[in-house]
Each structure stands twice: as structure tokens, then as C-alpha cells.
Amino acid sequence: MKRFDGRRALVTGAGSGIGQAVVARLLEEGATVAAADVSEAGLAVTRERADTAGAADRLRIVVADISDETSVRENLGGAIADLGGLDVLVNAAGILRSSHTADTTLDFWNTVIGTNLTGTFLVTRQSLPALLENGKGVIVNFSSTSSEFAHPYMAAYAASKGGIQSFTHAIALEYAKQGLRAVSVQPGSIASGMTSNPGFPEEGCDPSLIGKLYPWIGEGFAPPETVASVVAMLASDDGAFVTGTEIRIDGGTHM
């Protein structure tokens, strides 16, 4: 099934984990994809996967820092221009940092908020003119189960993801009459570079609080492709009547 034949997509966080899996899935389904990440090494792996799948001719690699306004304007703006427009935006880029809230510095807080929430805003703002031009653009943002359920030692991360969720609702209604759909996904219990090393503070950390963050179905954390398949559905015409909401993908961790 080629649900994205002739469609152009921009995926951030494309150098690892879920973002990389989303790129592979959209390429598999026929899209032309601009894959953006701050990591050149990660993007090299993304390109290798596309080469192996025989889809490298539809892949554009873009090194960009989503938390930097100039980088977004010049690098991602240039990528959208090279694509000749944009049909789908997937804001998968983000960072996970953990700390005791009482010990969290302002720099720590601002780094997490600046990358996750402000970065999502900057990329969305840059992409909106092109998405609105075709009358049926789609934005898929990455919230998290932490936006609605208690995740210890993740106050800054949870705040950033809750902000993304609210931001998604706002733009979904603001641009609905112009044909834009905006949805968010809430991954949880997904195996990726982010979750494999969340950096929980060792001193004073209560393992029983962290231990509840595991799925009830399956055999542990699910692979990134689990989320990529849902993103593909939402971004395709199969999700044409879905907007202004979020989809939780966590294997029942937060039932």
C-alpha cells in the first residue's frame, strides 16, 4: 500500500529512534522525505536504511537544530523549498532529561523546554505556509504519556510535552477551515535511544516509582516501528477525520 505516493514530508528527530522509524515507514509508502536531525552520524544511518530499502532517491538529509530559530529558518526552510512544498510535518525531535525537581536548574529547564516545546513551535511555524497551500496538510506532533500521567523526575519533560499537546489542539482549530489537520501521539514504553538512557538521578531515586512505567501487554518495551505505523495512519487519508486530539501508544501502561 502506497498511501504517500506524490506526497512530501518533513520529519524531525530523524537520526534515531522513532523519528528514524517514521522516515523508513513514509519512504516505504511512497513519500519523498526530508529527514532532519542535529546528528550527522544519526542521519547517516537513516540514509543507509533508505539505501538498503531502495528509497534513497526520495530522501533528503538536513542537519538542523530545532531549538535554534536561524537553523530552522535557513536549513528546514531550505529543505521545504527543495521539496517544492509540504504535505506532512512530523515533529518527532525531542530530548529526555531527568532530575529531582528541587535540584533542577533554570538552564536545565530551559534546555528541555527550548528543545521540545519551542522547537516544535519553530518548526511548525516555518512549515505552516507550505502546509496550508495545498489545503490538506497534516501535522503530527509528539507529546508523551508524561503529559497526562505522573512520571517521576521528569517535571521539565512532562511540562514540555503537555505544552505540545495544548499547542496541537490550538492550531488544529485555528487552521481547520483551511484544511489543516493537527494531531499528537503519546508514546510510552517504547524502546529508543531516549528511553534507554533517561538519566534518572541515582541519589534519592525511588525505583518503585519508576517501576510502574511498564506495559501490561507484549513482552516489554515496543520497538519504534510501533509508533511509526500509527503516525503513518494519522498522516495519511486513513486519518482524514482525525484532528485536534491525541493517540496514546503505550501497551496499556497507563490504563
Looking at residue 59, what DSSP letter applies?
A: E
**Which conformational region is residue 50 in: left (phi greater than 0), alpha (psi within -120 to 50 degrees), or beta?**
alpha
Quickly tell me which residue has 537553523 as its cell.
71
Distance CA 33, CA 24 (A): 9
3-state secondary structure of 202: coil
- Locate 13 and state its grid cell: 528527530
Active site residue 214: no
Quickly tell me which residue has 512530501 as its cell.
8
Distance CA 52, CA 42 (A): 16
Selecting among 153, 157, 175, 214, the annotated active-site residue is 157
- Locate 110 and state its grid cell: 530551559
- In one-letter notation, the amino acid at residue 126 is Q
3-state secondary structure of 224: coil
Distance CA 123, CA 119 (A): 6
Q: What is the dihedral of CA 145, 147, 149, 152, to 10 degrees?
A: 100
Count of CB atoms situated within 10 Å of the CB of 106: 7
Catalytic residues: 157
